Amino acid sequence: MDLALTDDQRAFRQAAREWLDATVVPHRRDWDRAEQVDTSIIRGLGEMGFLGLTIPEEYGGIGGDYLTYAMAMEELGRADSSVRGIVSVSNGLVGKPILGFGTEEQKQQWLRPIATGEALGCFGLTEAETGSDAGSLSTRAVPDGSDYIITGEKMFITNGTWADVCVVFARTGGPGPKGVSAFLVPTDSPGFMRTEIKGKLGLRGQATAQLAFDGVRVPASALLGQEGQGFTIAMTTLDKGRVSVAAGCVGIVQGCLEAAREYAVQRTQFGRPLAKFQLVQEMIADISVDADAARLLTWRAADLIERHLPFGVEASKAKLFASEAAVRAANLAVQVFGGYGYIDDYPVQKYLRDARVMTLYEGTSQIQKLLIGRAETGVSAFL
């Protein structure tokens, strides 16, 4: 892997940072307090290319490489993880499976609106009783003539109350992963209901919803991929999604580093800047090392994706390390700030709250360890 970035990659990263610093960072505290990101930002995300980074130009995207996408997710994570989640889910968890498994008709219908920000997508996999054990989901899609009738519920769905289309995973066959299929369901379909989840610890500005399907009728053309292929679609999509989450966590670590460094230089105690105290320097050094290590693991996984090589284990390693590093970095940054780190006049307490969920979704840290352990030993702990 060549770690030297191209001129285009450096330019995009710089433009992304400048735009986010001007458009998102000044509002993130208010959005966090209100538990609501200003949805007018979505069109701007599309205009900047965030929502179409890895979508080909023929479908309205900019056809960017995956390393550039990872850098974009890092800048979004540094600015506001609630906004990063909008992009990661709509572009990554919805756009990518449509691109990889969809028919030409499905691509034409959904990819351009997603890439431009005219439409958002959500990923309907998790249920109240099935998180890590996605192969045991209970939502059902029953054939009815040339249609399917979908009945069930989904939980903790990012973009759920904003989305225009939902990738819904439902059981069309027997028990287990082989009985799961995927469908593209417009959210204005009769019987599609959504309730926003409030009171979250972090990602408070992000729309997170409980979805209910009360006999939602969709045509057979809504099937994404083949019947019984849903679990494969979900797992393939989540592998790439983990790289996106890892990159967002790199952004949290980087944001913690910048905030702690600036505060330590400016804040004085006992007549000298905090940065002159060796134990403060130690905390900042630990954050700095974690930033570089998480970034390199993430870039390695992104590079493998770009070169069409196996990347699943590397994605798990990147997601595991970067998410745990984000929690460590935010804890240390709060410590550098002292009491001021505990209030939202400064960003580090929000970084801490946002970082905590990164160890949970798109595969918990424990699931990532099981996947890595299986790859190392050849023995599955899931059986």
Query: 322-356 burial by CB neighbour count: b if 16+ within 10 A, else e?
Result: bbbbbbbbbbbbbebbeeebeeeebbbbbbbbbbb
SS3 132: coil
Given the residues 18, 47, 362, 376, the one annotated as active site: 362
Which residues, 6+ apart, have CB-to-CB distance to 341 below 8 Å?
333, 334, 335, 348, 349
C-alpha 202/C-alpha 358 separation (Å) is 10
Q: Give, in order, the Cα–Cα distances in Å from 303 to each of 67, 233, 311.
A: 6, 21, 9
Residue ranges of alpha helices (H) inside the chain are 7-23, 28-34, 41-48, 66-79, 81-87, 96-101, 104-116, 230-266, 278-306, 312-337, 348-358, 365-377
CB-based contact 231:180 (threshold 8 Å): yes
Which has the closest alpha carbon to 281: 325, 332, 327? 332
C-alpha 63/C-alpha 55 separation (Å) is 5
118 is catalytic: no
C-alpha 105/C-alpha 158 separation (Å) is 25
Q: Which residues are catalytic?
A: 362
